[in-house]
Structure 1
Amino acid sequence: MNKSYIKIALTLLSVAGYIQNIAFASESASSTNSSNGGEQEVCDNPKDVQQQFYDNPKETKHAEKFMFEALSLLKKHAKHTDDYEIYKEVDDEAIVYYKTVDGIDIGKLELKIPNADNYDGIINMLWDPRGAENFDGSFIDGSLVRIYNENLVILEQRHKCMVKSWTGYYHALAKKFILSENETAIVLASSNINVHDPNEEKKFVNPLVKSAKLFNPVIDSAEDIREGQLSKMYINLLGFIVKREPDCVKITYLISVNTNFRYWVPNWTIRMGIANKMYDIIKLRDIFQQE
């Protein structure tokens, strides 16, 4: 493999890593509201949180519709593995799959973590904006750039490549769903969010979540994004379904990414990078077995 392919492969090892940290804890996250440029901090007091919500009923309605379709797709693709191929069977309780839908790759991880008492802790770690620090060495930072309600936000995530100074980022809408007392879903997807990135030459069209086309907010992004210093990527669909079973916690993790590379990259290289970051999610098992 030549030097350019090595760089690509190492870069891709970071791709899903900065996708993993989609958790948004209301007690510790902060963001910038583009309507007034002021800093928002999501805190414990519900009254304080409510005062910080972005007040745009039409945009919020489109955001909710977008996320409910994303949840429906997450459930559909997580339901079974009949149309997937096994990428790697790590062991009996951790299996990585792949499939292609209309030319779009979708990766899937099925993971079991012993002890049902770990349910709340796992969700808290996934919902914590700094939770990925526990299992992802490429994580730089995450912030909420718009808050519609305590469970519906626009997230910005940044990660660094393991070598050199490459920094990538994405913006995506995300929502946490309490499906039942014993089941929670966290869903994430990108749309055509305008962040004033000069490198963004055309509008992004989400190939999986069709209602994303209705969600086109404008974000007051950071200076380095406006100056085109970072590499932008998009989330077609990403999500966790966390379910408490009698003797374990079952996690189904789904991921589909648009790497937005300007040059040709072999598909096996992209799959390798995404798969390696699915392996990072498996580290949750070791973390919670030690507790």
Structure 2
Amino acid sequence: MNKRYIKIALALLSLVGYMQNVVFASETAANGAKNSTSLRQKTVLEEYKDKECKDMYETFAAIDHARDALSLLLKLAENMGDHPVDSTENENTTIYSKIIGNIDIGWLHVTIPSASKYYDIIKELWDFNDKQKSGPKFINGNVARLYSKYLILFEKLNIDGNHINSKKRYALGARIKQTNDTFVIVCPTRTLNYIGEINHETDLKEIIKNTKSIETGIDPEEALTKLADNIAGFVVKRGEDNQVHVTYINAVTNPK
């Protein structure tokens, strides 16, 4: 199981405990909020105005790129636990890990009580710009280009958590509403084939379009093998059982 997956797994388990406390203390928190004053944080658009993409066609290419990754993550989430090599279960948590060729893939499924906290959980996971967060972040990386507040190109020096590489790497992060009861947070998508600096003059639309595509119509694990790249994200579902179900998927391709 790769190091990045382990870090996220521990953070997610902390989130479970945090959200359980939130549920039990929601009334107290609400009362406290009425009496507290805090400094206003800048919005994402205000803070990263200089990173905003003005090219509509590049934005469309980024949306398509993120949606390809979304489709694969949803399929992998549905296949969670099919013939796992290793698995662990308890009352609220299920962990699976599996090696497919040179791909190390892990699934972590947690159940959080109270569907009323659905949007709070999504906000906690999409935390790249949370300056006040004291614990570990789920999404790390420097903002390189802003397509919208929920679609961002991140600069990462170390995407997979195993192999330190001084070259800059770029991958998209996206928060996508699939249905009223399902959100998918993709971060990172497959890496862009670009290692230079990014500024206002950098045209990325062809680079995004020419990134290796994800095959559809085949088994998701086969598609992952053919992709031969890293991909990770969260599938968050609001269940009819008054619970929120969070599945974290992390697939890392290890060099042969």
On whether the aligned pair clears a TM of 0.5, the verdict is yes
Aligned to 2:233: 239
Against the structure 1 CA distance between its residues 183 and 140, is the aligned structure 2 distance closer, same or farther, given a 3 Å change threshold? Answer: closer
Aligned to 1:191: 191
Q: Aligned pair count? A: 198
Is 1:70 aligned to 2:69, yes or no? Answer: yes
* TM-score, reference length from structure 1: 0.53
Aligned to 2:47: 41
Aligned residue among 236, 243, 251 for 1:248: 243
> Share of identical aligned residues, percent?
25
Deviation at residue 60 of structure 1 after TM alignment: 2.5
Deviation at residue 102 of structure 1 after TM alignment: 5.3
Contact 2:229/2:253 (8 A) holds in 1: yes
- Distance in 1 of aligned mates of 2:149 and 2:86: 36
Offset from partner CA, 1:119-162 (integer Å, 9 cap, x none): 1111111112155955438x996331101223211013568xxx
- Distance in 1 of aligned mates of 2:91 and 2:172: 33
Is 1:13 aligned to 2:19, yes or no? Answer: no
Is 1:209 aligned to 2:204, yes or no? Answer: no
Name the SS of the counterpart of 2:230 in structure 1: strand
Q: What's the RMSD between the two structures over aligned residues? A: 4.3
Letter in 1 for 2:47: E
Name the SS of the counterpart of 2:121 in structure 1: helix
111-120 or 187-196: bigger deviation: 187-196
Aligned to 1:148: 147
Name the SS of the counterpart of 2:143 in structure 1: strand
Deviation at residue 257 of structure 1 after TM alignment: 2.0
Contact 1:88/1:95 (8 A) holds in 2: yes
Against the structure 1 CA distance between its residues 14 and 187, is the aligned structure 2 distance closer, same or farther, given a 3 Å change threshold? Answer: closer
Against the structure 1 CA distance between its residues 73 and 129, is the aligned structure 2 distance closer, same or farther, given a 3 Å change threshold? Answer: same
Deviation at residue 196 of structure 1 after TM alignment: 3.3
Deviation at residue 97 of structure 1 after TM alignment: 0.9
Letter in 2 for 1:238: A
- Distance in 2 of aligned mates of 1:123 and 1:109: 16
Runs of 5+ consecutive residues of structure 1 not aligned to the other structure = 1-8, 31-39, 43-48, 160-165, 198-204, 212-233, 265-291
* TM-score, reference length from structure 2: 0.60
Name the SS of the counterpart of 1:124 in structure 2: helix
Contact 1:208/1:237 (8 A) holds in 2: no
Aligned to 1:115: 114
Contact 1:140/1:158 (8 A) holds in 2: no
Name the SS of the counterpart of 2:141 in structure 1: strand
Is 1:175 aligned to 2:174, yes or no? Answer: yes
Is 1:257 aligned to 2:241, yes or no? Answer: no
Name the SS of the counterpart of 2:194 in structure 1: coil
Against the structure 1 CA distance between its residues 209 and 127, is the aligned structure 2 distance closer, same or farther, given a 3 Å change threshold? Answer: same
- Distance in 1 of aligned mates of 2:139 and 2:232: 19
Against the structure 1 CA distance between its residues 89 and 206, is the aligned structure 2 distance closer, same or farther, given a 3 Å change threshold? Answer: farther
Deviation at residue 86 of structure 1 after TM alignment: 5.6
Deviation at residue 182 of structure 1 after TM alignment: 2.1
Against the structure 1 CA distance between its residues 15 and 29, is the aligned structure 2 distance closer, same or farther, given a 3 Å change threshold? Answer: farther
Runs of 5+ consecutive residues of structure 2 not aligned to the other structure = 12-40, 159-163, 198-209, 217-227
Structure richer in strand, relative to its length: 1
